[in-house]
């Protein structure tokens, strides 16, 4: 591969690894918020334990995902300075808003939620997790605004060899954004639902003592997966008209095998959840039929596979352009970037993000195996032990 192909492959690999964290974050955040809201309204200790257990898994994924995002930001400056020079005034605006507003607010509210157990009033504590969810979705919105500009560069004009922003509102109403954003958010719900479903099936298959806990979690996972898959597939097909109008050669450039994998998994799982799993929630048949639980565990990764395939189709379909019709991938690269340098950064970035993905999986798997009885999130503070009396006072 030449330098351009190496740089493209580097971004595809690191972007895919980063998206694994993002799609799970978008899926788990609203589920944890709903669980916490139920606890705040009913006072049922079961809902509190569900919030703490699934919330701990969310926090693990979020914490490690932050580092993968930093690697992605660093990669833009290292390998793609041509993009910053030509379109930075437009492309950088939504990224700056995402960093300064959405990301920092999300981190702040998440910190308040994590350390607010048994300290904040119940209503304020619940508000924090809903604000975490809203800011996570706001972060996704601004990222998709920036990405949709690359797909369909609206609201800008070329001036002095650079793109200058002329209509900020056009960025927010980009036709490429309108259907792509709910498609990504729905994919997150679909993925989060499958993770909850698979983890619950694991415990139910092992005949856990927490039958009610994981029966309710399984039900919530299946319903969420149904809603997520329904809207993911719907908004996925809704994009075809926009793509035909703005990028008529997109599917010619995208590999047929990524495209086919995305559509095949999406339709298979949607109909499977709709016609097989959803009806089995009646009288908790799905929770009681242990022979189905290994199947649920085996299909848990499939939404991640479909999400990565969809991302690759979206990104590779606009090649050889980085800013479609305006800036080629070759011109967007940092001038003078050698094959040795890009190979070294490729190995470093991919290795780091791959390691973080493995650590994320191992920590989440460990938290799932340990179950709700061994959750540190939200544990009451231990009372301070009295200091021993001095020997001379006895």
Per-residue pLDDT of 253-277, as tens digits, reads 667 778 787 888 887 888 888 888 9
CA pair distance 130, 128, nearest whole angstrom? 5
Give me the number of domains the chain comprises. Answer: 1
Q: Are 62 and 360 in contact (CB under 8 A)?
A: no
Within a domain: 341: yes
Within a domain: 84: yes
Q: Are 317 and 244 in contact (CB under 8 A)?
A: no
- The confidence score (pLDDT) of residue 394 equals 46
Within a domain: 383: no
Q: Which domain holds residue 150?
A: 3-375
Within a domain: 302: yes
- The confidence score (pLDDT) of residue 143 equals 94
Q: Are 174 and 152 in contact (CB under 8 A)?
A: yes
* DSSP bridge partners of 159: 162
Ramachandran region, residue 287 (left: φ > 0; alpha: ψ -120 to 50; beta: rest)? alpha
Q: Which residues of the chain have pLDDT under 50?
A: 393-394
- The confidence score (pLDDT) of residue 253 equals 67
Within a domain: 386: no
Residue from 21, 47, 42 nearest 372 by CA: 47
Structure tokens at 116: 């607010």
Within a domain: 388: no
- The confidence score (pLDDT) of residue 136 equals 94
Burial of residue 75 (number of CB atoms within 10 Å: 0-12, 13-18, 19+): buried
- The confidence score (pLDDT) of residue 293 equals 96
Using omega within 30 degrees of 0 as the cis cutoff, is the peptide bond preceding 320 cis? yes
Residue linked to tokens 């639980």:
293
Please tell me the pTM assigned to this model: 0.92
Within a domain: 290: yes
- The confidence score (pLDDT) of residue 389 equals 57
Within a domain: 138: yes
């Amino acid at each position: 591969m030449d330098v351009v192909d190496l740089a493209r492959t580097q971004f595809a690999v690191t972007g895919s690894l980063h998206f694994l964290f993002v799609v799970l974050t978008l899926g788990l955040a609203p589920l944890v918020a709903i669980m916490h809201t139920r606890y705040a309204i009913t006072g049922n200790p079961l809902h509190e334990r569900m919030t703490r257990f699934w919330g701990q898994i969310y926090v693990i994924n979020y914490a490690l995902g932050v580092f993968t995002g930093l690697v992605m930001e660093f990669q833009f400056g290292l390998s793609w300075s041509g993009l910053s020079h030509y379109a930075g005034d437009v492309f950088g605006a939504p990224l700056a808003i995402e960093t300064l507003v959405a990301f920092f607010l999300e981190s702040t509210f998440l910190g308040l939620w994590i350390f607010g157990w048994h300290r904040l009033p119940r209503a304020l504590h619940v508000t924090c997790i809903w604000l975490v969810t809203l800011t996570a979705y706001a972060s996704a919105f601004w990222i998709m605004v920036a990405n949709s500009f690359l797909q369909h560069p609206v609201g800008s004009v070329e001036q002095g060899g650079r793109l200058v922003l002329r209509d900020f509102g056009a960025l927010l109403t980009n036709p490429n954004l309108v259907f792509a954003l709910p498609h990504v958010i729905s994919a997150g719900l679909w993925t989060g639902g499958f993770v909850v479903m698979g983890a619950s099936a694991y415990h139910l298959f092992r005949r856990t003592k927490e039958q009610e806990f994981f029966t309710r979690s399984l039900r919530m996972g299946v319903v969420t997966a149904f809603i997520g898959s329904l809207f993911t597939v719907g908004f996925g097909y809704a994009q075809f008209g926009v793509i035909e109008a703005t990028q008529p050669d997109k599917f010619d450039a995208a590999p047929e095998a990524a495209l086919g994998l995305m559509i095949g998994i999406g339709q298979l799982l949607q109909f499977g959840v709709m016609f097989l799993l959803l009806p089995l929630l009646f009288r908790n048949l799905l929770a009681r039929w242990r022979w189905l639980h290994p199947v649920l565990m085996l299909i848990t990764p499939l939404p991640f596979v479909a999400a990565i395939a969809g991302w690759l189709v979206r990104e590779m379909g606009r090649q050889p352009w980085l800013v479609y019709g305006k800036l080629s991938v070759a011109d967007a690269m940092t001038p003078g970037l050698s094959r040795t340098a890009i190979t070294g950064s490729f190995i470093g970035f991919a290795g780091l993000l791959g390691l973080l993905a493995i650590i994320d999986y191992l920590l989440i798997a460990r938290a799932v195996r340990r179950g709700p009885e061994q959750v540190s999130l939200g544990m009451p503070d231990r009372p301070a032990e009295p200091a021993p009396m001095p020997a001379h006072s006895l």
